[in-house]
Amino acid sequence: MTSTDQQPFLSVKDLQVHFSTEDGIVKAVDGLSFDLIKGQTLGIVGESGSGKSVTNLTILGLHDRAHTAIEGEILLDGKELLTASEKELERLRGNKMSMIFQDALASLSPFHTIGTQIGETYRKHTGASKKEARARAIEMLKRVGIPQPDVRVDDYPHQFSGGMRQRAMIAMALVCDPELLIADEPTTALDVTVQAQILDLLKELQQEFGTAIIFITHDLGVIADIADDVLVMYGGRCVERGTKEEVLSSPQHPYTLGLLGSMPSLDGPVDVPLSPIPGSPPSLLNPPSGCRFHPRCTFADKVAGGLCSTERPLLDVVDGRGSACHLPPKQRGDLFADFAAARH
């Protein structure tokens, strides 16, 4: 992290999340660690199935306990969450830590009014009356920029537009002034204008309350906009981390490099063809041996002794910056430069 002197508000240490399914054990998260301090935003990037959403559901304790084996540590403000009781977690959820989900239409209850849904979170954690909760809901709707909040508070989610639903979702997540906000691809389904508005809103609110934000996305453009630090996940493991600037301008892992190549660059030439990463995300039931990215990696043959397919590369983090790749750092720089040049 950028400043090590501050006590991290959220600390995840060597988290392992394994699901047991009928076909076998799925290693959804396989040894993940990170810290987050207040007022900062951590962007987690990865394809679907990379373990980013599982990580966050695990933080909230919303995983399917019957079929999940978890190891490691999750400390929220010094409190161990993995061993906390359900009652304790219920007190924390929606209060100290809350979450914004991706698909607001599916994530909001179709059976209750927006006002009820925002208000019940407030009532649960503050013991406010119905009337107070309603007033709070209107206030929150106003804050997230819903017009006529005193009328729309009685609407159902299906009566809202997509952008308004996402705002309502944010209002609901923020109603108890959470200290940790997890936003799981909150803007993916929205058009660019609305997306920008929502991101601005989150930034504003963060400034106001000093909230720590985990922002999950597969869109590096959004990361560029909102994140302070970035964590890149692949196949349940962290492959690269660092500040936004470090990761985006000088990626150290072939996967990050590939991600950058698969998105249009705003400052580069317009006619450059996008080059998506060949192959498909790994099966977590039967993950590839060694480096999980090696079947898709352009540089796997550059490593001597076929190390990529046999040895798991270690993530060595120095000062919050690191990557997990067998390529020697020197060779890496040259290869990446050639690769980028070939693209241009």
Partner 1 sequence: MAAPAATPLYFPPGDGAPSGKSRLMFRFLVRRVIGALVILLIISAITFWLFYAVPRDPAMMSCGKNCTPENLEQIRKNLGIDKPIPVQYWLWLVGIFAGRNYAGFDYCNAPCLGYSFANREPVYDTIMDRLPTTLSLAFGAAVVFLILGIGAGMLAALKQGKFLDKFASSASLLGSSLQIYFVGYIAMFFFVAQLGWLSQPQYTPLTDDPGAWFSGLLLPWLVLAIIFTANYTRMTRSQLVEQLSEDYVRTARAKGLSRANVFFRFAWRGAMGPIVTVFGIDLGTLIGGAIITESTFSLQGIGRLAVKSVDQSDLPMLLGVTLLAAGAIVFFNILVDAVYALIDPRIRLA
| Sites of contact with partner 1 (CB under 8 A) | 57, 60, 62, 66, 86, 90-95, 98-99, 101, 103, 106-112, 117, 120-121, 124-125, 148, 151, 154-156, 158-161, 172
Classify strands 212-217 and 41-45 as parallel, antiparallel or unpaired.
parallel
Q: Helix 162-174 to helix 130-143 angle, to the nearest 10 degrees?
A: 120
Looking at the Cβ atoms of 122 and 336, the one nearer to partner 1 is 122
To the nearest whole angstrom, how small is the minimum distance from the Cβ of residue 176 to partner 1?
8
To the nearest whole angstrom, how small is the minimum distance from the Cβ of residue 160 to partner 1?
7
Looking at the Cβ atoms of 164 and 327, the one nearer to partner 1 is 164
198's tokens: 């929502």
266's tokens: 């705003």
In a 10 Å sphere around its CB, with 0-12 CB exposed, 13-18 middle and 19+ buried, how is residue 55 labelled? buried
To the nearest whole angstrom, how small is the minimum distance from the Cβ of residue 103 to partner 1?
6
302's tokens: 């550059």
Question: 320: closest CA among 258, 234, 245?
Answer: 245
Alpha carbon 241 to chain centroid, angstroms? 13
DSSP state for residue 30 in the 8-state scheme:
E
Looking at the Cβ atoms of 27 and 123, the one nearer to partner 1 is 123
Looking at the Cβ atoms of 89 and 307, the one nearer to partner 1 is 89
To the nearest whole angstrom, how small is the minimum distance from the Cβ of residue 157 to partner 1?
9
Which of helix, strand or coil describes residue 105? Answer: helix
To the nearest whole angstrom, how small is the minimum distance from the Cβ of residue 61 to partner 1?
9
Find where tokens 């990170």 sit: 34
Contact yes or no for 255/277 (Cβ under 8 A)? yes
Looking at the Cβ atoms of 159 and 298, the one nearer to partner 1 is 159
Q: What DSSP string runs through 273-322?
A: PP-PPSS-PPPSSSPPSSSTTGGG-TTGGGSGGGGGGTSPPP-EEETTEE
What percent of the chain is helix, strand and coil (3-state, nearest 5)? 40, 20, 40
Report CA dihedral (221, 343, 52, 289) to the nearest 10 degrees: -170
To the nearest whole angstrom, how small is the minimum distance from the Cβ of residue 49 to partner 1?
17
Looking at the Cβ atoms of 111 and 264, the one nearer to partner 1 is 111
Looking at the Cβ atoms of 110 and 264, the one nearer to partner 1 is 110
To the nearest whole angstrom, how small is the minimum distance from the Cβ of residue 300 to partner 1?
38
To the nearest whole angstrom, how small is the minimum distance from the Cβ of residue 208 to partner 1?
21
316's tokens: 């060595």
* Amino acid identity, position 113: T
> How far is the C-alpha of 249 from the C-alpha of 62, rounded, in Å?
35
Looking at the Cβ atoms of 94 and 261, the one nearer to partner 1 is 94
For 326, left (φ over 0), alpha (ψ -120 to 50), or beta? alpha
To the nearest whole angstrom, how small is the minimum distance from the Cβ of residue 200 to partner 1?
23
Looking at the Cβ atoms of 5 and 86, the one nearer to partner 1 is 86
Q: Which residues contact 285 (CB under 8 A, 6 or more apart)?
A: 21, 23, 24, 25, 26
